[in-house]
Amino acid sequence: MRYLPKSPADREQMLRELGCKSIDDLFAPIPAEYRLKGDLNVPRQMSEQEILQFFRQSSRDNAAGYATFLGAGAYNHYRPVVIDSLISRGEFFTAYTPYQAEIAQGTLQAIFEFQTMICELTGMEVANASMYDGSTAVPEAAMMSVRLTGRSNVVIARSVHPEYREVLRTYAQHQGLPITEVGFGENGRLDMAALDKAVTDQTACVMVQSPNFFGTIEDVAALAEFTHKKGALLVVSIAEAMSLGVVKPPVEADIVAMEAQSFGVPLGFGGPYAGVIATKEQFVRQMPGRLVGQTVDKHGRRGFVLTLSTREQHIRREKATSNICTNQALVATMATIFMTIYGREGLRELAQHNLAKAAYASNEFGKKGKVLFAGAPRFNEFVLQTAGDPYAINERLLEQKIIGGFPLKKFYPELGNAALWCCTELTKKENIDAAVKAVAQ
């Protein structure tokens, strides 16, 4: 076995030192009737070439080489090559959670930089060192709101990613957190009249997404004013982090629950991604997940450690703020490198390219179908209602190796023949023009 570094003679010698006749002596604690007698029924040992052949074939059986208009919570952005070059360094990717700070300063400092950049981008005062992803950040933010307010109800917009809402429901159902969903208005924004009816004196938080699932930017300031008047917290989920380059951050919110995938994380068929929770300083002790803090060594030199761990499961056990143990350090490092590459100017330019592509596309599509929710600003996604079935339109596009928009029937049947189209900086004008043609056919 090529990953095992011992020779047969090494094993013999070690067994002799242990006074064992055979390796099976060491497995004596497992009752004999439960010890496997034969081989596991898994594929035989393969050579490196065979392994790569298997995965290359798998890649070919996927949509390799297709242009795409899919967004809906997972965004196709360019990943500068520097990212993989750096995160492939063994000291980053083969390390564990930085429990021994003196030999983990690389990871710790990178995370400290990540926390800082997330604060700058979101307008929040503190950010954690990442959560599993944007979908699990939502229930964690809901549970955090419950701890902060002592109230138990959650009000969530129907325009929050449908799968995020499903995850929230799974987490909430056994914790006595009733969930009320509030619909959207003509302009795609949260229906304020319906919100007014839904919020009670037991509402811990109002949760919205901005840009929301339809790409529409919510009026966060108005939502915050309303929510705070009711004594509840406002949680804003951000699925498309790239929007922060040009869209005003939700500074009026109490908690931001974000997905950082857009920042240099490959689509990867849905994961791994990196969620983040960012909030106000006064709420930090109720925030779940890992945090890195600055400190000094005994010579007064600056260094970094994991901190405020008394909130966490390994100390508080069943009273912890969350059961989350791992974070997504390597993915957070990817995002940190991405944010560093683009920086203050680049993120803005990138976001503007996204805006321009989507504006061109929605304008062109608007000539052949109906672009919904025109009354509010949006970022890089829009909803197109067509005369024909979006699945049929997509079939026509696939012949040109283009994956069309995401049909909304499954999650929003009331929108009829509607699909969610996404344009990023990687979307080519020629593909937009081809898609417009396919819609018109």
Partner 1 sequence: MSGPKKATTHVNQNEGLIFEKSSPGKKAYRLEPLDVPAVDAAKLLGAAVRADVGHLPEVSEIEIIRHFTRLSTWNYGVDTGLYPLGSCTMKYNARVNEVAARIDGLAYAHPYQPERLSQGALRVMKTLADCLLEITGQDAITLQPAAGAHGEMTGILLIRAFLQSQGNPRKKILIPDSAHGTNPATAAICGYAVENLKSNAAGMVDVPSLVAQMNEDVAGLMLTNPNTLGVFEQEIHKIADVLHSKGGLLYMDGANMNALVGKTRPGDFGVDVMHLNLHKTFSTPHGGGGPGSGPVACKKHLEPFLPAPVVCEKPDGTLGFDYNRPKSIGRVRAWYGNFGMHVRALAYILANGPDGLRMTTEDAVLNANYIRKRLEGVYDLPYSTPSMHEVVFSDRKQTAKGLKTGDIAKRLIDYGFHPYTVSFPLIVPGALMIEPTESESKEELDLFIDAMREIARECEQDPQLVLDAPHTTRLSRLDEVLAARKPVLRWKPQAKSAAE
Positions in 5-44 near partner 1 (CB under 8 A)? 5-6, 10-11, 13-15, 17-18, 23, 26-31, 34-36, 39-44
DSSP 8-state symbol, 272: S
- CA-CA distance, 115 to 252, in Å (whole number)? 19
Shorter beta-carbon distance to partner 1: residue 25 or 231: 25
Contact window for partner 1 (CB under 8 A) among 161-169, 179-187, 192-200, 365-373? 161-169
Closer to partner 1 at the Cβ: 199 or 252? 252
Residue 190 backbone phi and psi in degrees, to 5: -55, 135
* Nearer Cβ to partner 1 (106/185): 106
Query: Closest distance between partner 1 and the C-beta of residue 182, in Å?
Result: 20
Q: How far is the CB of 196 from partner 1 (least distance, A)?
A: 22
As beta bridge partners, residue 418 has: 385
Binding to partner 1, residues 382-401 (CB under 8 A): 394, 398
**Angle of helix 329-366 relative to helix 429-440, nearest 10 degrees?**
50
**Sign of the dihedral defined by the CA atoms of residues 45, 49, 53, 56, in that order:** positive
Nearer to partner 1, 21 or 299 (CB): 299
Exactly one of 67, 393, 418, 432 binds partner 1 (CB under 8 A); which one? Answer: 432
Q: Choose between 234 and 244: whose C-beta lies nearer to partner 1.
A: 244
Determine the Cα–Cα distance for residues 371 and 367; give it in Å rounded to an integer.
9
Beta bridge partners of 205: 154, 233
Select from 336, 303, 328, 338 the least CA-distant residue to 97: 328
User: Exposed, middle or buried: residue 133 (CB in 10 Å: 0-12, 13-18, 19+)?
Assistant: buried
CA 257 from chain centre, in angstroms, equals 9
Task: Point out which span in 145-153, 169-177, 194-202, 367-375 binds partner 1 (CB under 8 A).
Answer: 169-177
Tell me: does residue 148 bind partner 1 (CB under 8 A): no
User: Of these, 130, 203, 209, 380, which contacts partner 1 (CB under 8 A)?
Assistant: 130
Among 21, 48, 414, 441, binds partner 1 (CB under 8 A): 48
Binding residues among 276-305 for partner 1 as defined by CB under 8 A: 284, 290-305
Taking alpha carbons only, the member of 371, 435, 370, 357 closest to residue 403 is 435
- Residue 3 burial (10 A CB sphere; 0-12, 13-18, 19+): exposed
Query: Taking Cα atoms as reference points, which of 135, 132, 140, 137 lies closest to residue 331?
Result: 132
Tokens encoding 2: 């090529």
Residue 62, C-beta contacts closer than 8 angstroms, at least 6 positions apart: none
Which residues are bridge partners to 238 per DSSP?
A: 258
* Size of residue set near partner 1 by CB under 8 A: 200
Q: Indicate the residue among 101 and 415 with the shorter CB distance to partner 1.
A: 101
Query: 147, 149, 152, 163: which one contacts partner 1 (CB under 8 A)?
Result: 163
Phi and psi (nearest 5°) for 48? -60, -40
Min CB(39)–partner 1 separation in Å: 4
Q: Which is nearer to partner 1, 199 or 273 (CB)?
A: 273
Alpha-carbon distance 413 to 162, whole Å? 13
Token representation of residue 260: 């950082």
Query: Minimal distance in Å, beta carbon 197 to partner 1?
Result: 26
* Binding track over 206-235 against partner 1, x by CB under 8 A: -----------x------------------
Of 247, 257, 277, 383, the one binding partner 1 (CB under 8 A) is 247
Residue 420 CA to residue 167 CA, distance in Å, equals: 21
Site for partner 1 in 307-366 (CB under 8 A): 307-310, 312-320, 322-331, 333, 337, 339-353, 355-357, 359-360
Largest CA distance in the chain: 83
What's the min distance (Å) between Cβ of 137 and partner 1? 10
Nearest to partner 1 of 55, 201 (CB atom)? 55
User: Binding residue for partner 1 (CB under 8 A) from 141, 142, 143, 232?
Assistant: 143
Q: Quick check: 105 binds partner 1 (CB under 8 A)?
A: yes
d(CA 278, CA 281): 9
54-93 binders of partner 1 (CB under 8 A): 54-66, 68, 70, 72-74, 76, 80, 82, 84-93
Among the residue ranges 146-154, 170-178, 196-204, 366-374, the one whose residues contact partner 1 (CB under 8 A): 170-178
Please state the closest distance from residue 440 (CB atom) to partner 1, in A.
19
**DSSP state, residue 374:** T
